[in-house]
Amino acid sequence: MDAGAPVTLRTEVDRGTGVAVLTLDRPEKLNALDLATADGLKAAWQEFRYDDTVRAIVLTGAGGRAFCTGLDRSADVPQPGSPYMVDDPLAAVGPKAGGLWKPVIAAVNGMACGGAFYLLGESEFVVADESATFFDPHTTYGMVSAYESVYLAQRMPPGEVARMALMGTAERISARRAYEVGLVSEVTPPGEAVTAAVRCADVIASCPTEAVQGTVRAVWAAREAALTAALSYAPHLVSLGNLPAERQAGLFGARRPGFRTR
């Protein structure tokens, strides 16, 4: 990253406990992931792989409005002309994609939508405060919810995944509903998700590292085969189903305000 580039990720490490807090720091953009931030996430997971003083990680977003709202719409991502090849800038933003088998706990405040599910899908579990809401806007804007729905299907009943994906921006699920369907493991009072996640991370980091990392790998192995198979369809579904960029932009510009939260 250029020396003059804005800082879009913050890392704080407590060497005493072995817990790192990684914060998406673009609150003015609702912590949307531009290409620099996506690259920064990939680099962060690699750094954590080799830093033995870090034994557990909490991932969160700056500001109170959003955890992450997915890919920044201003990001320019050229695509091959073939429907068999799709360049997904978020494909490797998650910790498992980076080969990190240290536990990652997501602490969600405000909105989590779209590409945020790449990060939530590769976290061990999710803590959310009462303000958190979850939704997937893809279909509203003429895009296929492929990768996002695949990740969500690893945590939620298929009917709930389908409803979220197909309702688009018209409906959001609350932190309480997300807890009821298994996406979230704990709901906290407003502003306390990071504290609760760090509290869990402190306990996990105090356990023998080999046992913790082996357990992370074992849990992921139970999901890995199905996830890999499902993700193999995603590029083709995106190629076939996404509207051209100019039509997506038109739908985005004409989006209707308002939504229902359940």
> pLDDT tens per residue, the chain (262 residues)?
444 456 799 999 999 999 999 999 999 999 999 999 999 999 999 999 999 999 999 999 999 999 999 999 888 888 787 777 788 889 899 999 999 999 999 999 999 999 999 999 999 999 999 999 999 999 999 999 999 999 999 999 999 999 999 999 999 999 999 999 999 999 999 999 999 999 999 999 999 999 999 999 999 999 999 999 999 999 889 888 988 888 998 998 887 788 989 9
Instruction: Flag whether 13 is in a domain.
Output: yes
Domain hosting 93: range is 9-72+89-194+207-255
**Burial group, residue 220, by CB count within 10 angstroms (0-12, 13-18, 19+):** middle
Maximum CA pair distance of the chain? 53
Instruction: Flag whether 137 is in a domain.
Output: yes
Bridge-based pairing state of the strands 19-24 and 9-14 = antiparallel
pTM of the prediction?
A: 0.92
Instruction: Flag whether 201 is in a domain.
Output: no
Instruction: Flag whether 215 is in a domain.
Output: yes
Instruction: Flag whether 77 is in a domain.
Output: no
- CA atoms within a 13 Å half-sphere pointing along the CA-CB vector of 131: 15
* Sequential DSSP letters for 51-88: -TT--EEEEEESSSSEEE-SB-TT------SSTT----
CATH of the domain at 190: 3.90.226.10
Instruction: Flag whether 101 is in a domain.
Output: yes
Number of domains the chain contains: 1
Q: Are 106 and 197 in contact (CB under 8 A)?
A: yes
Instruction: Flag whether 41 is in a domain.
Output: yes
Name every residue whose Cβ is closer than 8 Å to that of residue 108 and which is 6 or more positions away in sequence: 60, 61, 67, 120, 126, 127, 128, 129, 132, 134, 175, 184, 193
CA atoms of 141 and 104, how far apart (whole Å): 31
Instruction: Flag whether 188 is in a domain.
Output: yes
